[in-house]
Amino acid sequence: MSDWIWEYEGYDPVEERLRESLCTLGNGYFATRGAIPECTADDVHYPGTYAAGCYNRLTSQIAGRRVENEDMVNLPNWLPLRFRTAFGDWFSPDTHRVLDHRQRLNLREGTLERTVRYEDTDGRRLAVRQLRLVHMADPHLALLRTEFTPEGWSGEIEVESGLDGTVTNSGVERYRALASRHLTHVHTGTSPGGPGRAAARVAARDTVWMRCRTSTSDIRIGLAARTVADAPAETGNVKELRRIARVFRFPVTDGHTVTVDKTVALHTSHDPAISDPLHAAVDRVRRAPDVEALLASHRTAWQQLWRAAEPDVPGGAGTVLRLHLYHVLQTLSPHSAELDVGVPARGLHGEAYRGHVFWDELFVLPYLNLHFPEVSRALLTYRHRRLERACFAAEDAGHRGAMYPWQSGSDGREETQWLHLNPRSGRWLPDHSRLEHHVGSAVAYNVWRYCEATGDAEFLHTKGAEMMIQIARFWAAFASYDETLGRYRIRGVVGPDEYHEAYPGAAGPGLVDNAYTNVTAAWVLARALDVARTLPVTRRRDLFERIGLDDAELEVWEDVAHKLHVPFHSGVISQFEGYGDLAELDWEAYRERYGDIRRLDRILEAEDDTVNRYQASKQADVLMLGYLFPPTELRDLFRQLGYELDDGTWHRTVDHYLARTSHGSTLSSLVHGWVLARARRTRAWDFVQESLIGDVADLQDGTTGEGIHLGAMAGTLDLVQRGLTGLEARDGRLWFDPVPLPELSEYGFSIRYRGHWGVRLRLRPGRLHITVPESDEPPITVAVADRTVSVAPGESRELTLPE
């Protein structure tokens, strides 16, 4: 590995799925897993191509019930390119001798290079080099260049380059029992020719196409692939059910390289400014420039993306952070700003969680706000477009306001599955995570932080206000007043921890007063009140009229915002009411018996026990509060609720949950690393390291092969950007309150802040260096401890940090 290269040496079928995920190429519009082009889906390989926001619903019969699931659809595979020496079998690393094999992801340039040397049964050796990209400048294009060099023989090779529409959604073992065929009406053909430049007409002969549609969402998909070889070849086409390919047979000479270039275009009926996806794809591929030009414009687009962030962290951590940013940008790029998409928890990299959108944007947007604010705005707009649906959900449940779904897909309906499989016990179990109503607070939090960071008052006063107000309204309606306690309580929820869905022995699911839910709801209510009261007068009147809001309702919010109950036990914040009464788990015994106990819930269920009985959490729940709110804001928030949160209570709380969390989500180590670093605790680095290697070392039990963990990836970038620096964009200033993490003490990055592009920040022990590039914007006010300085465009300042 070097700073910009992520590399795999050798072919290892066991690791293949993981490598496919981590070698995925994408551009925010679509992404393709780093699968080997000569292989089709089987137990080892899983080629997958996903377009952002392309979902389809299917009904399956599971455990005697009919269940409907919505999936991000695996689109026809554009990668297929197989080859053989004349009269031999098609080469495959599973059937042929592989002399060497290497995959190199070039992060700077956004390309995947693969070199492999095969030997056929007659001992003929063939060196193959492939370069692939999913274009970052033209989001509808992809490219696969393959170079063949015979070693020690001359003869003939045959190459087949095609499109495969036989694909299904079968990338996740646990979902195998569910319906998986989303594509119908698959038609193929060769380019219909038609008007165009002479060169385009020639190219058209090399083009095969495929069109199909999703079975229930009726999204039409068009793909075209143009393959050309730089050697005289006999050519033809192979057409099979749901497959089409172009075939080449050409002579090869020992030591001489023949190059085959496959350029692919993809359109769906979601795209603006097209007539139909197939014609758009055929036209685009015909007009696509040659490979050198495509490579050049792709590299430039990537350079520009890197310039917007310039993460500069030394050592191995720096390389992993670059890889994380690379995958974040392949899922959410400036192209996403043009789409109606949310933040898919597992990227566009695989089928885990079906491409659904959870609360994970909480870990993604704060990072994007300071680099690609237009992307954040688009992601919030995805939520705004589904505000009406969230209001329907609240109404159906008998409440007012907006109840955002725990899992969201196409139209913002609740997409959480009703049943999930415990692979350990083989049992299908009810899934109550739809009770994680805290997801709404994550939406409101992101609206607020986005507006703070960007100063986008227009968004705050329009879509932002509408979402914040309806989410606050839901909390005020959902909370009920408890006369005995003299406080409001929130019942029937599940917190971020997810292990606890019900009280032991209870007839139904749901917990009372999940501290995270209540405290964040109080924050949302307070911020929504701020927004409601500071809206421009006319806007306020219009909005209040439209949604039937009045001052009396605001007074109720005020009351709830100050009187939500937060449970405590033994001097620590309780995760929920009654948490302190749960049994203690013998952690050591379980670790000894099972080794990896991250999915303790599954282990206990398979033992006919339930994690609901224990003080055991999957991931940070109460401690999420220390992640979302800087210490002063958190103290003020507790004070707003009438509680004193002193340092002692917080430290005890951190220790309590630290000892009782199994880290069954990649988000857990991230949050613990962040919280411990902010609390200047020694174990911080262990957790930071774990969050850095979560995906690359596939720590969550092989799940990275089913898609990367986008929240954790973006979260680690934000850990450097905001966690370590204490950076807050608040009240029109940039505040810093750095914490030392000895293992990561010098680092730098660039941000975009309120019209200033490329503000460069560099931190080293005791020093903060800031450079503001030339522009006509007003100076930036920087606040460190009790000092503020103004840094004008074109200026650099070095500030001394307090001890």
Q: Residue 49 CB, nearest distance to ligand BGC (Å)?
A: 21
Binding track over 293-332 against ligand BGC, x by CB under 6 A? ----------------------------------------
Q: Residue 700 CB, nearest distance to ligand BGC (Å)?
A: 8
Within 8 A by CB and 6+ apart from 692, the residues are 317, 320, 321, 716
DSSP state of 92: -
User: Long-range CB contacts (< 8 A, 24+ apart) of 251-256?
Assistant: 251/154, 251/155, 251/156, 252/148, 252/149, 252/150, 252/154, 252/155, 252/156, 252/157, 253/150, 253/154, 254/150, 254/151, 254/152, 254/153, 254/154, 255/149, 255/150, 255/151, 256/149, 256/150
R_g over Cα of the chain: 27
* Residue 519 near ligand BGC by CB under 6 A: no
Q: Among residues 653 and 665, whose Cβ is nearest to ligand BGC?
A: 665
Q: Among residues 98 and 419, whose Cβ is nearest to ligand BGC?
A: 419
CA-closest candidate to residue 299, choices 288, 309, 291:
291
Of 71, 360, 361, 706, the residue at the interface with ligand BGC (CB under 6 A) is: 360
Rounded Cα distance, 310 and 322, in Å: 9
Q: Which of the ranges 164-172, 354-362, 539-547, 549-557 carries the binding residues for ligand BGC, by CB under 6 A?
A: 354-362
Give the sheet arrangement for strand 733-736, strand by strand.
Answer: 728-730, 733-736, 780-784, 787-791
Phi, psi torsion values for 577, nearest 5 degrees? -60, 125
Q: Among residues 53 and 373, whose Cβ is nearest to ligand BGC?
A: 53
Q: Residue 10 CB, nearest distance to ligand BGC (Å)?
A: 31
Yes or no: say if 393 and 478 are a contact pair by the CB < 8 Å rule: no
* Residue 248 near ligand BGC by CB under 6 A: no
Q: Among residues 228 and 345, whose Cβ is nearest to ligand BGC?
A: 345
Q: Residue 620 CB, nearest distance to ligand BGC (Å)?
A: 9
Find the distance separating the first CA and the last CA of the chain, reported in whole Å: 36
CA-closest candidate to residue 416, choices 337, 501, 358:
358
Handedness of CA 364, 370, 373, 377 (dihedral sign): positive
* Residue 667 near ligand BGC by CB under 6 A: yes
Q: Residue 353 CB, nearest distance to ligand BGC (Å)?
A: 5
* Residue 225 near ligand BGC by CB under 6 A: no
Neighbours of 548 (CB within 10 A): 8
User: In 402-454, which ranges are continuous DSSP H helix?
Assistant: 439-454
Q: Interaction with ligand BGC in 575-634: which residues (CB under 6 A)?
A: 618-619
* Residue 358 near ligand BGC by CB under 6 A: yes
DSSP state of 584: P
Could you tell me the two tokens for 333? 């790029």
Q: Among residues 406 and 735, whose Cβ is nearest to ligand BGC?
A: 406
Q: Among residues 667 and 734, whose Cβ is nearest to ligand BGC?
A: 667
Q: Interaction with ligand BGC in 47-66: which residues (CB under 6 A)?
A: none
Q: Interaction with ligand BGC in 678-737: which residues (CB under 6 A)?
A: 711
Q: Are strands 733-736 and 427-430 parallel, antiparallel or unpaired?
A: unpaired
Cα angle value 692/697/701 (rounded, 5°): 115
Phi, psi torsion values for 749, nearest 5 degrees? -165, 170
Rounded Cα distance, 566 and 574, in Å: 8
Rounded Cα distance, 110 and 744, in Å: 27
Give the distance between the most distant pair of CA atoms in the chain.
Answer: 90
Q: Residue 618 CB, nearest distance to ligand BGC (Å)?
A: 6
Q: Are strands 733-736 and 780-784 parallel, antiparallel or unpaired?
A: parallel
* Residue 351 near ligand BGC by CB under 6 A: no
DSSP state of 14: G
* Residue 409 near ligand BGC by CB under 6 A: no
* Residue 665 near ligand BGC by CB under 6 A: yes
CA dihedral defined by 146, 150, 155, 156, rounded to 10 degrees? -20
Residue type (1 letter), 617: S
Q: Residue 717 CB, nearest distance to ligand BGC (Å)?
A: 16
Annotated binding site: 359-360, 618-619
Rounded Cα distance, 470 and 403, in Å: 8
Q: Among residues 496 and 694, whose Cβ is nearest to ligand BGC?
A: 496
Cα angle value 7/9/10 (rounded, 5°): 145
Q: Residue 626 CB, nearest distance to ligand BGC (Å)?
A: 16
* Residue 353 near ligand BGC by CB under 6 A: yes
Q: Interaction with ligand BGC in 486-505: which residues (CB under 6 A)?
A: 496, 498
* Residue 574 near ligand BGC by CB under 6 A: no
Q: Which of the ranges 107-115, 357-365, 653-661, 770-778 carries the binding residues for ligand BGC, by CB under 6 A?
A: 357-365
Q: Residue 691 CB, nearest distance to ligand BGC (Å)?
A: 13
CA dihedral defined by 438, 443, 448, 450, rounded to 10 degrees? 140
- Binding footprint of ligand BGC, residue count (CB under 6 A): 12
The helix (H) or strand (E) run that includes residue 670 is helix 666-678
What are the Cα distances from residue 744, in Å, to 311, 734, 755, 763, 764? 13, 22, 30, 10, 9
Q: Among residues 21 and 619, whose Cβ is nearest to ligand BGC?
A: 619
Binding track over 448-487 against ligand BGC, x by CB under 6 A? ----------------------------------------
Within 8 A by CB and 6+ apart from 253, the residues are 150, 154
| E-state strands within 171-271 | 183-190, 207-214, 220-229, 234-240, 243-252, 258-268
Q: Which of the ranges 49-57, 293-301, 309-317, 353-361 carries the binding residues for ligand BGC, by CB under 6 A?
A: 353-361
Of 337, 345, 494, 714, the residue at the interface with ligand BGC (CB under 6 A) is: 345
Q: Among residues 358 and 579, whose Cβ is nearest to ligand BGC?
A: 358
Q: Residue 254 CB, nearest distance to ligand BGC (Å)?
A: 52
Catalytic residue (choose from 109, 498, 501, 706): 498
Task: Assess whether 498 carries a catalytic annotation.
Answer: yes
Q: Residue 740 CB, nearest distance to ligand BGC (Å)?
A: 29
* Residue 359 near ligand BGC by CB under 6 A: yes
Q: Among residues 138 and 360, whose Cβ is nearest to ligand BGC?
A: 360
Annotated binding site for substrate: 359-360, 618-619
Q: Which of the ranges 7-15, 333-341, 355-363, 625-633 carries the binding residues for ligand BGC, by CB under 6 A?
A: 355-363
Q: Residue 623 CB, nearest distance to ligand BGC (Å)?
A: 13
CA-closest candidate to residue 719, choices 683, 758, 747:
747
Neighbours of 538 (CB within 10 A): 8
Q: Among residues 366 and 711, whose Cβ is nearest to ligand BGC?
A: 711
CA-closest candidate to residue 298, choices 115, 131, 53:
131
Positions that interact with ligand BGC (CB under 6 A):
345, 353, 358-360, 496, 498, 618-619, 665, 667, 711
Query: What amino acid positions are annotated as catalytic residues?
Result: 498
